[in-house]
Structures are given as structure tokens and as C-alpha cells.
Amino acid sequence: MLNTLSGRFLILTAVFVMLAEVLIFVPSIARYREDFLMDRLERAQIASLALLADDMIDQSVQEELLDNAGVFNVVLRRDEARQLVLSAPMPSPIVDTFDLRDASAVDLIGDAMARLAEPEREVIRVIGDPTNMSGLLIEVTLETSELRDAMIDYGLRILVLSAVISLITAVMLNLAVRRVLVRPIKRVVGHMKSYAASPEDARLVIEPNSNLREIREAEESLQNLQTQLTSALKQKERLAQLGSAVAKVSHDLRNILTSAQLFTDRIEMSEDPTVSRLAPKLVNSITRAVHLCESTLAFGKAEEPSPTLSVFTLEDIVHDVIESERLSVGEHDLSYAVDIPPGLAIRGDSEQLYRAILNLARNARQAITGTGNPGEISVSASDQPDAWMIYVSDTGPGLPPKAQEHLFTPFQGGTTRGGTGLGLSIAMELVRGHGGALTLDETGPQGTRFQISLPKGDVQPPA
């Protein structure tokens, strides 16, 4: 019961209603005390008037009049004369006097609470105005036990009635809350549970239909979240299927490339100068392709392996990239430029950095050849105190805004028609594996430049 929203609301409602009833009880009990004392004054006034009307009333009748009035004596002030009309022996001295003629609400409440807290039987004097202008003042003495008992009885009846009212109110509010608030929340929770069982099923996405603004906002937020999650799961499933397919293709392609690698060993022994010059580059290209297949580096299937660090000359890698790209240029007017300090040696995985630079150069080549205009691709580097900086720039048309927004997102950052957008994603992952960063330095109508930053760490390359 305490662990449910409706149960806690029921208890809180009962508590607050009881608190309200208590706040009502305090002035009510004070009002009851005032009415009780005023009633005693009226009875005493009637008894005194009866005695004044007939002076021959004997002592027993006077005692009966006082007993019916519930007082010990009665004093009337008429025509500025104070007169003891009725009198009887008092069991104890008078301990306090209460004047009801000009008592404030605070005084009445304080006197009532003090009377409830005092269990001893006491005699008090009460002063008030006579009814119907039958004098200037009436004063009586009475015992407090009957007053206190009547106040307690009245208070108990008020508390019982308050408890019944609070319980009925709490139950009605609880039913209203269950219908207006708890039921819509349970509906949302039910949708969440059913969606969690099969998040790929778009039919289980919640449809907002609540009339309450807050609940409807929650339903709309949940709908947006579920829609995004379903799309992400579908994309993840497609990537997993793509990875599985790439792994199978990689396996068969590796076997084919291994056979081609055996043929290139024979080509290297050719005496033709042109064949002898191109054979090593062919061997290197096939070797890299074999390594790529063996590592299963497809983006949708597996993560890139950790780099195997070694010290190598950056210029050699860059020349391999340019020679590989020149074979793909064809008859297009495209030139290459290299600006790397001679003998610059860096520490990293030569194969992975070759692939990262190759992806950047290939994207630049595709951007320039797509325009049909001549252009230039340049690769430069610098040796900074804490990092090696590599720049790949081109004179192409620049990246469109959509490509810039999803630049390194797979399947979304493609810059050419038919492209997958994996090139930059793979390059980013390879550079990150070295603890570095790949960033877009600048882009525009004059061209685009990417920057690779490779931290040196505490290991310096040899001179």
C-alpha cells in the first residue's frame, strides 16, 4: 500500500484533512466553552429574576434554582447597585475570573485549551451581560468539572466526525487520482514494458492520446525516444549483417590475393625495366590487401586492432600513397605535391597510418575528379615539440554543409555520389588508436585541408 502512488496519496489526503479538522477543532471547542458559560449565565439570570419576583421563596427552592442553573451564587448589578441574589456554599475558593463581555478570540481559545489541560476540579467566576437588557452585569460562580466533561465529550464527537469525513474524502480523492493520474501512468509503464520486450518492432511505439498535458508531454517524449532507439537498433542490425557479409568476402578475397601474391613473386624476376620498377609497388599493394582481409577491418563487423608501434620514415609511406593514387587518376589533370622534412621519422603503425592518409587522399582525388577541373593534392608534415602534424589538402570544391554535419559518421558523411562515408570514419578510428586526432582544418571553394595530430608521448624517434 505504501509503495503505490494511490496508497501514498490516500494516506497524505487523510493526514491533511485531519490537520484541517484539527485547525477547525480548536476554535470550535473555544466556541463551545463560551456557549456553555453563556448558557449558565442565562439560567442564573432566570433563577434570579424568579427570586426577585417573589421574595417569599424559601431556602430549599433557592437551592433548587441554583442547582438547575448549575451555579453556586448569582450577583446582579442593576441601577449601579450590586446585589447578591442567590447564594450557596462553595466547595473551594475561587481560583480564576473570566469576563465574557470583551474577550477576544485568542483569549477564548487560550482559556479553552487551558481548561482541557487542567483535570482538577476548580471554582471559577464568570462575568457577562444580562440578556434583554435586564441589568448592567451578571456574575456567577460555578465548578469546572461539568464544563470540562462537556468540552471533552464535544471534542470527541468532533474528532470522530472529522475522522469519518477525512476517510470519505480520502477514498473519493483516491478513486479520482487512480482514474485521472494513476491509470494513465500505468498505461505508459505498460507501453514501456511491451516495447522493452521487442524494441525492434515499430508497432509497439507508444501513440500519445492523453488529455492531461503533463502525461501527454511524457508520452510524446517517450515516443520520440522509442522511435530513435528503434531506428538505431535497425541500423545496428544492418551494420552487423554488413559486417558478417564483409567477413565472408574478406575470407574469400584473402585466398584470391594470396594466389596473386605468389604470381607477383615471379613478376619480380622479370628483366623488363618497367616491370621491375612497378613490381615492388604491386607486391606492397597486394601485401597490404592481404593484411586488411586477415584483420577483418570492416567497420560494421569488428573494431580496429591496436596499432603495432614502430619508428619509420613518413616520406616513404606518403610516396606509396601517391604512387597508388596516381594509378587511379587516369587521364585527369591532377598533380600531387609532397612537403615533408627529409628523414622525418615518426612512431606509429605504418600500415594503419598508410590507410588513414590513403583514405584522405582518395577522398580528395574523388572530389577533384568529380568536378572535371584540374587540381592538386598535397601532403605536408611538421615536427612540433609535442606532436607530429600531417596535413592532406586539395584544391577541390570544398565539403557541402550536410557532409560537414555528419563528417565522421559512417554511412552519413559521404561527400561523393554513391559513397558510403566509411573512409573518414575508418581514418578517424585509426588515428584515435594512436592517441591522436583527425580534424577538418578548413574547407571552402578554394579547397579542403585535413589535419592529423599524432602525440609523441615520452618516446622520441631516433635521429
**Residue 189 covered by a domain:** no
Closest CA to 142 of 30, 39, 31: 39
pLDDT at 297: 43
Q: Is the pLDDT of residue 17 over 80?
A: no
Q: Is the pLDDT of residue 460 over 50?
A: no
Give 253's pLDDT tier (boundaries 50, 70, 90).
low
Output DSSP code: residue 92.
S
**Residue 31 covered by a domain:** yes
- Among residues 128, 149, 171, the one where a domain terminates is 171
Q: Write the pLDDT tens digit of every residue in 183-214.
A: 888 888 888 888 888 887 777 888 888 877 88
Cβ contact 128:41 at 8 Å:
yes
Residues 307 and 166 in one domain: no
Give 256's pLDDT tier (boundaries 50, 70, 90).
low
Q: Is the pLDDT of residue 273 over 80?
A: no
**Would you call 408 exposed, middle or buried from its count of C-beta atoms within 10 A (0-12, 13-18, 19+)?**
middle
Taking all residues of the chain, what is their mean pLDDT, rounded to a whole number?
A: 80
Give 54's pLDDT tier (boundaries 50, 70, 90).
low
Cβ contact 141:73 at 8 Å:
yes
Q: Is the pLDDT of residue 62 over 90?
A: no
**Residue 146 covered by a domain:** yes
pLDDT at 299: 45
Q: Is the pLDDT of residue 269 over 80?
A: no
3-state secondary structure of 383: strand
pLDDT at 462: 40
Higher-scoring residue by pLDDT: 367, 413: 367
| Cβ-proximal residues to 139 (8 Å cutoff; 6+ apart), any chain | 74, 75, 76, 77, 125, 126, 127, 128
**Could you report how far apart the first and last alpha carbons of the chain are, in Å?**
77
Q: How many domains does the chain have?
A: 2
Per the structure block, which three cell numbers stand in for 235?
A: 541500423
The CATH number of the domain holding residue 362 is: 3.30.565.10
Per the structure block, which three cell numbers stand in for 314?
A: 613518413
405: containing domain: 303-455
Instruction: Give CA–CA dist 224/206, Å, rounded.
Output: 9
Range picked from 7-16, 223-232, 301-310 for highest mean pLDDT: 223-232
**Would you call 228 exposed, middle or buried from its count of C-beta atoms within 10 A (0-12, 13-18, 19+)?**
exposed
pTM for the model: 0.43
Q: What are phi and psi of 442, to 5 degrees?
A: -160, 155
Give 448's pLDDT tier (boundaries 50, 70, 90).
very high
- Among residues 136, 171, 206, the one where a domain terminates is 171
**Residue 370 covered by a domain:** yes
**Percentage of the residues of the chain whose pLDDT score is greater than 90:** 16
Q: Is the pLDDT of residue 439 over 90?
A: yes
pLDDT at 15: 79
Q: Write the pLDDT tens digit of every residue in 209-248.
A: 887 788 888 888 888 888 888 888 877 777 777 666 666 5
**Residue 234 covered by a domain:** no
Mean pLDDT of 22-41: 87
Choice among 143-147, 417-421, 443-447 with the minimum mean pLDDT: 417-421
**Residue 352 covered by a domain:** yes
pLDDT at 268: 64
Mean pLDDT of 51-61: 65
Give 291's pLDDT tier (boundaries 50, 70, 90).
low
pLDDT at 176: 82
Give 330's pLDDT tier (boundaries 50, 70, 90).
low
- Among residues 171, 186, 213, the one where a domain terminates is 171
Cβ contact 18:166 at 8 Å:
yes
**Residue 198 covered by a domain:** no
Instruction: Give CA–CA dist 353/235, Å, rounded.
Output: 28
3-state secondary structure of 413: coil
**Residue 235 covered by a domain:** no
Mean pLDDT of 62-68: 77
